[in-house]
């Protein structure tokens, strides 16, 4: 394995201002947490006031009071609140982003060091799965919550039925909203409240307590395996289900039916993600399903996501995100200067400005100036080496892992005469290297001819390295990467897999056994799997000798 050497460092100035996109409760809390750490904050809210977008999760009366208090507090802490303002574009790197903010009249350019997306979710009433139209007597959970604030007395003495967890899997956030509304109706408006529920999720102290409070207030639950038959004819409502205990149909004729809502990622996330060059999850939230991104990081350094922008979550959890984002930002921006490594170099003389590196960098660390000058940001670059291995001109080199250094290590690994098969295992330092160390520490049997070549990310394993290993005398080659979704550089393992497939095709073309080259994924704690993979390769080589 390579010895660590000192990396060259330099000091750079960075901008301390922070942009928070989204002025809901979580956006306000995040802006305040960042301002409390001494950073100037710009808060851009697309709506007419800090608060909640009409399509997002609604607020109860108490939340509105909280929101007003928080807005005043935010203004008092010097946060610049820009209402009716949306992100129109972004460029640059952590510590030096340029953002364009558009309001009704103009587009203003600002410079910020970090960006936080405090997104909202979108809610969609689930009336159609039950064949219902939304009317004055069939309403959504959001409509109920608004009416409980605006005209609560209109509900006095009514029979109200909730239908929840039947058109979609149970969701604690929806369940909590139902519990709170049911309590208000039963406690203060003397309503008869019935809850038809499929998947009842109460797995927390608070939810258990709320559930018990509703029971104590006389709310009745019907736990069903499938949706009841609901009819809505000339304003008359009926809910019927077959009760398996008393073995007959049970019918209710409520005054009001409240349907739950699907909570989805905001459709605006896609546009925002494109502008900021950040990846979305498969369900449209602004954070990939990657353990290295939790809790608030995105694939780009300097851009963070909190609350509903990254997943459907409860307000307490979202407020914890706000604190985490503030902490990450203070680590990134510090006192306005930063010491960075200059370990990734780009040879402008070799560069043909093809922008392959710009397209493949998973961290958005590459940009250009004057349409001819490719630049790697030392703040954003994670030194994974994907760009270096994809560059057709070999113009990019990673300190400690330059092409010359890695090839030299390959040569040295296979140079000695050996009676046993020589196996070169290219190992990602985030997973396979540690798995290999574990196998050694636990004294697992490993092949004598095994040589580990450490790489910063499997995405650094160049096709040329694999072929060099065979040319220099390796009998077998392994490329060992992180599992999908665990790669620190999102797609480094996929780049490695494509290159292995290509190398196997080339080996087959010249009549070599493609089994001499194998790709596998591991986690850092999979020492015994590491041992199995390398021993299997040794067995294969022995059988085919």
- Give min distance, CB of 92 to ligand SF4, in A: 15
- Give min distance, CB of 346 to ligand SF4, in A: 5
Rounded Cα distance, 343 and 351, in Å: 18
- Give min distance, CB of 355 to ligand SF4, in A: 5
Q: 50-81 b/e with 16+ CB inside 10 Å = b? A: bbbbebbbbbbeebeebbeebbeebeeeebbb
49/359 with CB nearer ligand SF4: 359
- Give min distance, CB of 347 to ligand SF4, in A: 8
* Footprint (CB under 6 A) of ligand SF4, residues 104-143: none
In 3-state terms, what secondary structure has residue 135? coil
- Give min distance, CB of 496 to ligand SF4, in A: 13
267/392 with CB nearer ligand SF4: 392
44/384 with CB nearer ligand SF4: 384
- Give min distance, CB of 462 to ligand SF4, in A: 13
Rounded Cα distance, 429 and 35, in Å: 37
- Give min distance, CB of 209 to ligand SF4, in A: 47
* Footprint (CB under 6 A) of ligand SF4, residues 338-397: 344, 346, 351-357, 361, 363, 365-366, 374, 376, 381-387, 391, 393, 395-396
* Footprint (CB under 6 A) of ligand SF4, residues 393-432: 393, 395-396, 398
Size of the site for ligand SF4 (CB under 6 A): 27
Torsion sign over Cα 303, 309, 314, 319: positive
177/488 with CB nearer ligand SF4: 488
In total, the chain counts a number of residues equal to 545
361/438 with CB nearer ligand SF4: 361
Q: Which two tokens stand for residue 257?
A: 């039916």
Rounded Cα distance, 335 and 356, in Å: 35
Alpha helices (runs of H) in 119-188, residue ranges in sequence order: 141-150, 172-188
DSSP state of 392: T
Q: In this structure, are residues 250 and 241 in contact, taking their beta carbons and an 8 Å threshold?
A: yes
| Phi, psi angles (nearest 5°) of residue 283 | -90, 10
Q: In this structure, are residues 488 and 382 in contact, taking their beta carbons and an 8 Å threshold?
A: yes
238/341 with CB nearer ligand SF4: 341
Q: Quick one: 510 exposed, middle or buried, by C-beta within 10 A (0-12, 13-18, 19+)?
A: exposed
46/357 with CB nearer ligand SF4: 357
Q: Write the interaction track for ligand SF4 spanning residues 48-87; mark x where CB under 6 A is met and - where it is not.
A: ----------------------------------------
Q: At what angle do helices 463-472 and 492-509 cross, to 10 degrees?
A: 50
303 sits near ligand SF4 (criterion: CB under 6 A): no
Q: Which residues bind ligand SF4 (CB under 6 A)?
A: 344, 346, 351-357, 361, 363, 365-366, 374, 376, 381-387, 391, 393, 395-396, 398
């Amino acid at each position: 394995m390579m010895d660590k050497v000192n990396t060259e460092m330099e000091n750079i100035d960075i901008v301390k201002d922070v942009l928070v996109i989204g002025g809901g409760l979580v956006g306000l809390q995040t802006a305040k947490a960042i301002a409390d750490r001494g950073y100037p904050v710009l808060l851009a809210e697309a709506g007419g006031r800090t608060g909640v977008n009409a399509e997002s999760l609604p607020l109860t009366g108490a939340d509105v009071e909280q929101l007003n208090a928080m807005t005043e507090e935010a203004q008092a802490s010097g946060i610049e609140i820009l209402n009716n303002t949306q992100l129109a574009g972004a460029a640059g790197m952590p510590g030096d982003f340029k953002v364009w903010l558009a309001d009704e009249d103009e587009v203003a350019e600002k410079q910020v060091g970090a960006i936080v997306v405090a997104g909202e979710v979108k809610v969609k009433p689930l009336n159609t799965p039950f064949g219902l139209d939304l009317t004055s007597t069939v309403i959504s959970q959001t409509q109920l919550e608004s009416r409980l604030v605006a005209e609560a007395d209109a509900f006095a003495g009514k029979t109200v039925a909730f239908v929840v967890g039947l058109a979609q899997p149970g969701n604690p956030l929806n369940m909590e909203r139902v519990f709170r509304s049911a309590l208000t109706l039963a406690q203060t408006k003397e309503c008869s409240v019935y809850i038809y529920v499929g998947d009842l999720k109460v797995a927390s102290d608070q939810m258990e307590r709320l559930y018990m409070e509703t029971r104590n207030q006389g709310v009745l639950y019907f736990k069903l395996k499938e949706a009841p038959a609901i009819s809505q004819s000339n304003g008359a409502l009926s809910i019927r289900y077959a009760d398996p205990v008393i073995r007959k149909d049970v019918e209710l004729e409520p005054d009001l039916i409240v349907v739950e809502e699907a909570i989805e990622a905001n459709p605006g996330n896609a546009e925002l993600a494109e502008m900021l060059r950040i990846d979305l999850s498969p369900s449209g939230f602004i954070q990939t399903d990657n353990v290295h991104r939790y809790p608030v990081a995105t694939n780009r350094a300097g851009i963070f996501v909190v609350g509903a922008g990254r997943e459907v979550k409860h307000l307490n959890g979202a407020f914890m995100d706000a604190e985490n984002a503030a902490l990450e930002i203070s680590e990134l921006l510090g006192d306005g200067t930063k010491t960075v490594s200059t370990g990734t170099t780009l040879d402008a003389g070799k560069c043909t400005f093809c922008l392959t590196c710009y397209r493949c960098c998973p961290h958005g660390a590459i940009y250009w100036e004057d349409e001819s000058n490719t630049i790697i940001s030392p703040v954003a670059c994670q030194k994974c080496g994907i760009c270096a291995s994809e560059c057709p001109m070999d113009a990019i080199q990673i300190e400690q892992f330059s092409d010359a250094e890695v090839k030299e290590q390959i040569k040295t690994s296979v140079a000695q005469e050996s009676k046993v098969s020589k196996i070169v295992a290219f190992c990602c330092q985030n997973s396979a290297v540690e798995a290999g160390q574990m196998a050694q520490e636990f004294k697992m049997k490993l092949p004598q001819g095994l040589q580990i070549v450490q790489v910063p990310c499997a995405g650094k394993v160049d096709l040329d390295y694999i072929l060099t290993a065979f040319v220099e005398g390796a009998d077998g080659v392994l490329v060992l990467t992180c599992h999908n979704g665990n790669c620190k550089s999102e797609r480094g393992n996929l780049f490695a897999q494509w290159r292995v497939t290509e190398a196997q095709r080339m080996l087959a073309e010249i009549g070599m056994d493609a089994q001499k080259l194998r790709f596998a994924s591991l986690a850092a704690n999979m020492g015994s799997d590491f041992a199995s993979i390398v021993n299997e390769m040794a067995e294969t080589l022995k059988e085919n000798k």
